[in-house]
Structure 1
Amino acid sequence: MNTLTYQALLFNRITEFDYQPALTCLETSETITYKELRDRVDTVANQLIRLGVKIGTHVAVIVPNSIENVIYNLGVSRCGATVIPLNDKLGVREIEFILRDAEPKVVIMATQKHVESVHDYLKEADKNSVTVIGLPGFGVEYPEEFYTVDLPETKGNMEFPVASLEDLATISYTGGTTGTPKGVMHSQQGFGASIVASCMEYPYDDQDKVLFCTPLIHSAGVLLQRSLVSGCHVYIMRSFNPEFFLQTVQEARITSTFIVPTIIYRLIDEAKKKGYEVSSLRNINYGSSPISTERLKEAFEIFGPIFRQQYGMTECSILIARLTKSDHIWAYENNPEVLKSCGKPCMFTQLRLIDNNGNDVKPLQPGEIAVKIPSLSVGYYKRPDLTQEAFRDGWFYTGDIGKLDKYGFLHIIERKKDMIISGGLNVYPAEVERIINQHPAVSMSACIGIPHSDWGEAVCIFAVLREGETCSKEELIQFCKERTSNYMVPKEIYIETSLPLTPVGKIDKKELKKPFWKGTSRVIN
């Protein structure tokens, strides 16, 4: 057996901890040990092998955050098969597209929302070659064509297939906020490297209690697997609730968590309403989108200097750059501008900033971020065109525009495709959001480009105010005029009570753009 595959690294490690608690589902109050986890995973793997699952078989898993989510995803990996992890919060159209694109031979599900879509996929495919497993205990009504299973009644042992370095461990579909979802392929070697790199970057041990409240198919899933190989006690929330989250930290003495900036903002607001004992927390990992510097300072006051930011992409298993706890402290005391960065390259990451001609940019100048890393994806499933465009000479071209400051910290300016061109000038939405978020009444904001007859595109801001605060559009526009160039000042501002979020907690700018670009063939002008 090659010990550097994802399959080997994971299952060799989780045999070490036996009767230590492995997983707790907070909604059901169920806790299982590592031995129970292994037994249930092996039972699932036995069942899947009987259904014909083997190395190379595509198996889709649509299960909400739960112990079952972990068991069934690991069960697929135990067989050496390829996991297609799907977010249960995805829309019907996204699920339908992914199923037809990935063509899984087995679909494991536990969501009422997607029953019809999965049933249609089963009917379209040859139902003799596709099996759908509907998990009990989630309140879902399954059609009679679905196969249901009760794990305790499934017995027997089989020899599990051994994956090689080149076998596909997973095909993870991007959120599709800029078009149809893309299947990001990770080999056993690459996914194994991500486990090793995560252990290096995020030190945990078997005394850690790690709380996850974001979808496990995203960044949280990589950190969950990283937690299991160290014997951590993992706590799973099905969905985020700020009061429940802080109560859990207080009562269970949680030591680490992973969240996104929108969740940090809600935790700050909840903690200000009611005092919580959160001194057990040693690590708050955050990422997925930029964070307001002002609100991060508020978070320091409540939770202390325990923040670690990560910057990554599905194609890189989240491991591109990180802002360490020490970086946060230094920046907080010496240079707050660094708090806007995503840190310095991770241990195994090589990084370049490229201009439009493919050359390295000059120091302190912006350029497209290109990455070379052992955990890099092997390409996009069924999309050789996109693979050739993004993966060149061993480098992955991220589509993010960034620049390095004089200290070597990487600052993300904007997505290359999200840049607004107003009056022939480039406007980076993140820069406009940074200005707006400095206003004391603003909790969060989102900047988009909207069509304009004279300017081509006009800068538009959607702002959510802090609880109890009031502020006019005119005041925010004047605030921007005093702090930035005229061409970056918003032409339109909408005050909202909330902003739409993607399934992974990012602000859904595609949804914000829809009303303005309806009936057009593209969202630029």
Structure 2
Amino acid sequence: MKMNFSRIMRLLALRHRDQEAIVNVERNRRYTYEQYHLLTNRIADVLRSVLQVRTGERFMLILENDNLSLMMFPSTFKQEGTVVMTNLRDPLEEHARQIELVKPRVGFGEPRLLDSYYGMLRSRGCDIVVRAPPTLAQAALPGVHNFWSLVEAASDLDNDVTLDTDQHICMLRFTGGTTGKGKCAMYSIDNWMACRDAAFINTDLGLSSATRLLHVSPLSHGTLMLFFPTVYGGGTNLTMNQLDMESWRQSVESERVSHSFLVPTVLYRLLEMQRAAPKDFSSLTTLIYGAAPMSPDKLGELVECFGQIFVQGYAATEAPMVISALDKAAHRPGDAAALRHLSSAGRPTPGVEVFIADSDGKPLPIGETGEIRIRCKAIIKGYYENPEATAAEFDDGAWKSGDLGYIDADGYLYIVDRLKDMIISGGFNVYAVEVEAALAAHPSVLMAAVVGIPHAEWGEAVHAEVILRQGETVTSEELIAQTRTRLGGYKAPKSLVFVDELPTSVVGKVLRRQVREKYWQNLLRKIS
């Protein structure tokens, strides 16, 4: 199917003309739907007429959330090029690796990056667009452009660009890389339309023209999935550039935020802050969490503090939509019947095919644990310039998630662990997430990371690193004993250390791989 997104956005602008579409909290930039439509027309004209990005060519974004919000849909759908999303917080070396792979024609970056990135980008043939006026010396450099000067000179008229929603690769995005170097996922427009539709099918998300959704995680990552449906629903996307929870709390209060997406590690810290110094969160109707499992015990504390406003979403870079959701009604602390479901990822979105497979790809019966496989319209087109990885991770139209899980008799999907985070100790399988949940159930524990470390007899031994809540004390022996009581002796940590911090990704996931690497250094084999 072919579509013209200038016309689509024009209709949205007519429908929601004076409603705020975009609010950049830190820069205090505000655009109504009418203004956002005209601005994104100009940006598309810059890409086509000035920078001359053509079909099959790529442009890369290395930007903060505020600036990313102007380069999202609809800008990218109003022109023929392919946008490459990156993580601003990645080091130059990682960006260089990504640029070498995708070979963008243009790079959009923050001004502070120009001095260190200029030589690398120009050596690879990239024009550079900076998002604030460069210094006189920077402006004199060949190939450097001022974004706002280009935009102000561009046309704001609707264009005649028509794109094939199934065949056109509108976006490239790198996987999180929690188990190694990220791969480059390819997206069609239909992938993102499936993301939009799933958000409306899951009615508990409550997206509408009244929505004011605050993005604090990078828009290049998971929170991007909420951007599309918020625009289509006529709501407001608000952005912050830094993961500063005190600023987040102030913004929720002052901007009357209704929705936000946070990962469990951030929610735990928010709980502590709200208990110590409450803010007015009366506007907040929906807190969406995902990207990592949450301890049912901690979830109960969150519901008691904030109310029954939580929705869990299960998704992935390779499947950018709500694959399954645990709705608000299921979040009932103290309810014995609901407690078991609190540890699930909810029920699959209607229309999404989720099944559990054995190592040969054969479907397993209800209740049996295997790899979660998914078929839906959001499944990506494969990995860019990586046919081997594409062949390895996709089978008969299904994405092999690498997540171990099962579906119970009520249709709830349970994620037991990542395949690569499974610990094999003395011949027994131990799932890190299960041990972490048992540790997090202790009132003194803020968060934990569990990994397998080398052991001469068992191959791997279960080991935990734990962060305590401020002012709390507990011994390692007490925590190990609690875990043994909950899970049994072979699953309990054989060693436990207290740490001040754990390595996390930019979206707040604990990076078990980095914890594990400390214990497997200089060994040829990294698992038992």
Tell me the TM-score normalised to structure 1 length. 0.93
Matches of 2:152 and 2:449, distance apart in 1? 51
Pairing partner for 1:350 from 347, 350, 353: 353
Deviations 1:404-458 (A, max 9, x none): 2232211100111221111222111011111111112111111111122222111
Matches of 1:331 and 1:193, distance apart in 2? 36
Matches of 2:298 and 2:134, distance apart in 1? 37
Pairing partner for 2:319 from 316, 320, 344: 316
1:449/1:457 contact within 8 Å kept? yes
Matches of 1:500 and 1:139, distance apart in 2? 36
Q: Report whether the alignment pairs 1:42 with 2:41.
A: yes
Q: Report whether the alignment pairs 1:147 with 2:145.
A: yes
Tell me the equivalent position of 2:189. Answer: 188
Tell me the equivalent position of 2:30. Answer: 31
Pairing partner for 1:278 from 281, 292, 298: 281
Q: Which amino acid aligns with 2:435?
A: V
Tell me the equivalent position of 2:12. Answer: 13
Deviation, structure 1 residue 363: 2.3
2:310/2:327 contact within 8 Å kept? yes
Deviations 1:89-138 (A, max 9, x none): 12333212111111111111116358534631421x2x3xx312121169
Q: Which amino acid aligns with 1:469?
A: E
Structure 2: 5+ residue runs without aligned partners?
Answer: none
Matches of 2:98 and 2:331, distance apart in 1? 39
Equivalent position SS for 1:48: helix
Q: Report whether the alignment pairs 1:245 with 2:243.
A: no
Matches of 1:359 and 1:249, distance apart in 2? 47
Matches of 1:521 and 1:24, distance apart in 2? 51
Q: Report whether the alignment pairs 1:492 with 2:488.
A: no
Q: Report whether the alignment pairs 1:393 with 2:396.
A: yes
Matches of 2:498 and 2:70, distance apart in 1? 43
Matches of 1:140 and 1:446, distance apart in 2? 48
Deviations 1:294-339 (A, max 9, x none): 1111111121101110001111113211101122249846231211
Deviation, structure 1 residue 389: 1.4
2:332/2:338 contact within 8 Å kept? no
Tell me the equivalent position of 2:178. Answer: 177
Structure 1: 5+ residue runs without aligned partners?
Answer: none
- Find runs of 4+ consecutive structure 1 residues off by over 4 angstroms: 5-12, 137-143, 330-333
Map 1:83-482 → 2, pairs under 5 A: 83-110=83-110, 112=112, 116-117=116-117, 119-123=119-123, 125=124, 127=125, 130-136=126-132, 142=138, 144-145=141-142, 146-151=144-149, 153-156=152-155, 159-165=159-165, 166-201=167-202, 202-329=205-332, 332=335, 334-482=337-485
2:300/2:334 contact within 8 Å kept? no
Q: Which amino acid aligns with 1:395?
A: A
In structure 2, relative to structure 1, the CA distance for the partners of 1:90 and 1:272 (3 Å cut) is same
Equivalent position SS for 2:176: coil
Q: Which amino acid aligns with 1:133?
A: V
Deviation, structure 1 residue 150: 2.1
In structure 2, relative to structure 1, the CA distance for the partners of 1:103 and 1:492 (3 Å cut) is same
In structure 2, relative to structure 1, the CA distance for the partners of 1:296 and 1:53 (3 Å cut) is same
Matches of 2:523 and 2:512, distance apart in 1? 16
Deviation, structure 1 residue 400: 0.4
Pairing partner for 2:520 from 517, 520, 525: 517
In structure 2, relative to structure 1, the CA distance for the partners of 1:499 and 1:330 (3 Å cut) is closer
Matches of 2:360 and 2:29, distance apart in 1? 56
Matches of 1:138 and 1:312, distance apart in 2? 39
2:453/2:460 contact within 8 Å kept? yes
In structure 2, relative to structure 1, the CA distance for the partners of 1:252 and 1:141 (3 Å cut) is farther
Matches of 1:15 and 1:198, distance apart in 2? 23
Map 1:45-60 → 2, pairs under 5 A: 45-50=44-49, 51-60=51-60
Matches of 1:115 and 1:386, distance apart in 2? 35
Deviation, structure 1 residue 260: 0.9
The more displaced of 94-103 and 325-334 is 325-334
Tell me the equivalent position of 2:510. Answer: 507
Matches of 2:409 and 2:134, distance apart in 1? 52
Deviation, structure 1 residue 387: 0.9
Equivalent position SS for 1:420: strand
2:300/2:333 contact within 8 Å kept? no
Matches of 1:259 and 1:214, distance apart in 2? 7
Matches of 1:354 and 1:493, distance apart in 2? 34
Deviation, structure 1 residue 61: 0.7
In structure 2, relative to structure 1, the CA distance for the partners of 1:255 and 1:515 (3 Å cut) is same
Deviation, structure 1 residue 495: 0.6
In structure 2, relative to structure 1, the CA distance for the partners of 1:387 and 1:213 (3 Å cut) is same
Equivalent position SS for 1:448: strand
Q: Which amino acid aligns with 1:136?
A: A
Equivalent position SS for 1:436: helix
The more displaced of 72-81 and 450-459 is 72-81
Matches of 2:235 and 2:432, distance apart in 1? 39
1:59/1:106 contact within 8 Å kept? yes
Matches of 2:228 and 2:517, distance apart in 1? 37
Matches of 1:121 and 1:521, distance apart in 2? 36
Matches of 2:516 and 2:132, distance apart in 1? 39
1:112/1:140 contact within 8 Å kept? no
Matches of 1:204 and 1:384, distance apart in 2? 37
Deviation, structure 1 residue 349: 0.7
Deviation, structure 1 residue 10: 5.9
RMSD: 2.3
In structure 2, relative to structure 1, the CA distance for the partners of 1:449 and 1:330 (3 Å cut) is closer
1:211/1:234 contact within 8 Å kept? yes
Tell me the equivalent position of 1:61. Answer: 61
2:196/2:228 contact within 8 Å kept? yes
Equivalent position SS for 2:523: coil
Matches of 1:117 and 1:414, distance apart in 2? 38
Equivalent position SS for 1:161: coil
